[in-house]
Structure 1
Amino acid sequence: MSDQLPRGVTREKLWDLPLRLFHWALAICVGAAWGLGKFGPNIMTLHFYFGYTVIALLVFRVVWGLAGPAPARFVHFIYGPATTGRYLSHLFERKPSYWPGHNPLGALSVFALLIVLILQVTTGLVSDPDDYVNVGPLADMVSSDTVRSATSLHNRLAPVILILVVLHLAAIAFYKRYKGENLVLPMITGWKLVRRDRP
């Protein structure tokens, strides 16, 4: 199959199974928690359970980002302004980038989503919407001012998460339709077409 690949491109096993399972589990749990938070029943038990699962998944991702396989580690996709600028200057060329892992734009998206989700689950643990029912499990361990601030931030971050998810999906569609690069399949199979000459 290698002779059918574009010149200078190879097929590599990039994303390991635990990382791929994390990705799809996070997508399901964040979607479910968001939907239940916005449109679910008044007693948000399921919202909390999905939130707890998101916490476990984020803990895994942080550990995997520090000690997992090389492509999964954060240092593998931390790029400086020069590399990011060069990548952006070629973004609208109608050809695949064959980037070996998260490209600089995708890396920014990953870090933004992780940071926002960490803030969201942290504030959720100490939130209290004043209904005396849906109280975060750690709300009684912090001051009332902290609870009010956390509750407010938790509510304000919900649309931010939606925006980041929509941008993520739009980027996938852009790469598929405009650049001819499938970013979904590698997150299913683990295999990705990458340039032999590393950026």
Structure 2
Amino acid sequence: MKKIIRVWDLPIRLFHWLLVICIVGSFITVKIGGNAMEWHARVGYCVLSLIIFRICWGFIGSHHARFIHFVPSPRGLLNYLSGKAKAGLGHNPLGALSVLALLCSVGLQAITGLFANDDIAFEGPFSKYVSSSTVELLTSIHYFNEKVLIVLIVTHLCAIFYYQKFKGENLIKPMLLGDKEIDPSEEARYLPSDLGQASKDGGLQRGFALVLLSVIAVILGYLITR
């Protein structure tokens, strides 16, 4: 009989899929250009709110969402690559690095967008607070990082396909439903501490996450529109 463990709480799952929607929306609106750039900016503000929330949740959220429980040390990464360390139920060490890279790239894209200026249809709300040379630099970073982000997203999708096709591990289902099904024969692959530690995902946890995200969005909205 398979063991079912709650790995991803509802706040993390909603964060993940809302971020996917926002990233797709940002690519679509920037390619359309013109009046759609106003929506590109709004999507960017949503992305930044989500990223700030995820960073906060990485410290105060559920067990498997916390950075301390899945971000590897250099030695931990080497041990995992050499087969000396077991994987966690959430992100394995390589997956953790992929998550961090995506968070950094998406966050950088959202932040630089606040200062970007394309001299046509968009001027970031914070561009007026810095020099023109700084605006030019941050705009260049915004354009270059778009390519970096595409590479990271493609790598992420390829990893999902690889685990599904060659390792028989469905990474999408747990991110949809929250639970991971562990066959008794597979338990030896995971850390014993993880197998006995399900993520909290009750009403209090979800309510707190909603309040946190709302506060972040309100503060960010105030700073952008003032």
TM-score normalized by the length of structure 1 = 0.86
| 2:70–2:88 Cα contact (<8 Å) kept | no
1:25 equivalenced with 2:18 (yes/no):
yes
- Deviation of 1:23 after TM superposition, in Å, equals 0.3
| Aligned position for 1:122 | 111
1:104 aligns with 2:93: yes
Tell me, in whole angstroms, the C-alpha distance in 1 between the residues paired with 2:88 and 2:27.
31
SS in 1 for 2:4: strand
Structure 2 counterpart of 1:168, from 153, 156, 168: 156
Amino acid at match of 1:130: D
Q: Tell me by how many angstroms 1:75 deviates.
A: 0.8
The 1:98/1:176 distance shift into structure 2, 3 A limit, reads farther
Q: How far 1:193 moved relative to its partner? A: 3.3
CA contact 1:98–1:193 (8 Å) conserved in 2: no
The Cα of 1:81 is off from its aligned counterpart by 2.6
61, 85, 92: which one aligns with 2:78: 85
2:63 aligned with 1:75, yes or no?
no
Alpha-carbon separation, structure 1, partners of 2:82 and 2:160? 19
Detail structure 1 runs of 4+ shifted over 6 Å in the superposition.
Answer: none
Deviation at 1:80, TM superposition (A): 1.9
Alignment of 1:185-196 (within 5 A): 185-194=173-182, 195=187
> What is the aligned counterpart of 1:41 among 33, 37, 47?
33
Aligned to 1:93: none
**Equivalent residue for 1:147, pick from 135, 157, 160:** 135
Q: Which AA in structure 2 matches 1:127?
A: A
Match of 2:180, SS? strand
Please say if residues 25 and 40 of structure 2, whose CA atoms lie closer than 8 Å, have aligned partners that are also in contact: yes
Gaps of 5+ in 1: 91-96
Distance 1:128 1:116 in 2: 19
8 Å CA contact 1:33–1:47 kept in 2: the answer is yes
Secondary structure of the residue that 1:134 maps to in structure 2?
coil
Instruction: State whether residues 34 and 158 of structure 1, in contact with CA within 8 Å, keep that contact through their aligned partners in structure 2.
Output: no
Contact persistence 2:112–2:139 (CA under 8 A): yes
CA displacement, residues 15-39 of structure 1 (integer Å, 9 cap, x when unaligned):
00011000000011011102322x2
Calculate percent identity across the aligned residue pairs.
Answer: 43
Q: Is the 8 A contact 2:87 2:191 kept in 1?
A: no
Deviation, structure 1 residue 86: 3.2
Q: Judge which range, 122-131 or 166-175, deviates more.
A: 122-131
Residue 156, structure 1, aligned to residue 144, structure 2: yes
Across the aligned residues of Structure 1 and Structure 2, the Cα RMSD in angstroms comes to 1.7
Matched-pair contact (CA < 8 Å) for 1:32–1:50: yes
Higher helix share: 2
When the two structures are aligned, how many residues end up with a matched partner?
184
TM-score of the pair, normalised by structure 2 = 0.77
Residue 98 of structure 1 deviates from its aligned partner by 6.7
Residue in 1 aligned with 2:125?
A: 137
